[in-house]
Amino acid sequence: MNLSLFLKGAMDSVLRNHVSARLVMASIDFFLIAAFVALLVKVFRISAPRFKALLWLLVLAKTRLAL
């Protein structure tokens, strides 16, 4: 069985339900924003704990608002 066909079939069944579709989109959104913030902290070598905490708080708040 081809992996892409399996994934397409699995996603079709998940995305038919409105609640599941919103959860999938919020999860993808969370992953992308979290990866961006992690990269931002790593590249700019942010060492201030309060600023890092604020960035992560924004990530969590954005995901919460997406639901």
pLDDT in tens, the chain (67 residues): 577 777 777 777 777 888 888 888 888 899 999 999 999 999 999 999 999 999 999 999 988 887 7
Residues in contact with 41: Cβ distance below 8 Å, sequence separation at least 6, in sequence order: 52, 55
Supply the pLDDT for residue 52.
95
CB atoms within 10 A of CB 4: 8
Structural domain including 45 reads 3-66
pTM of the model: 0.74
- What single letter denotes the amino acid at residue 26? A
Could you give the number of structural domains in the chain? Answer: 1
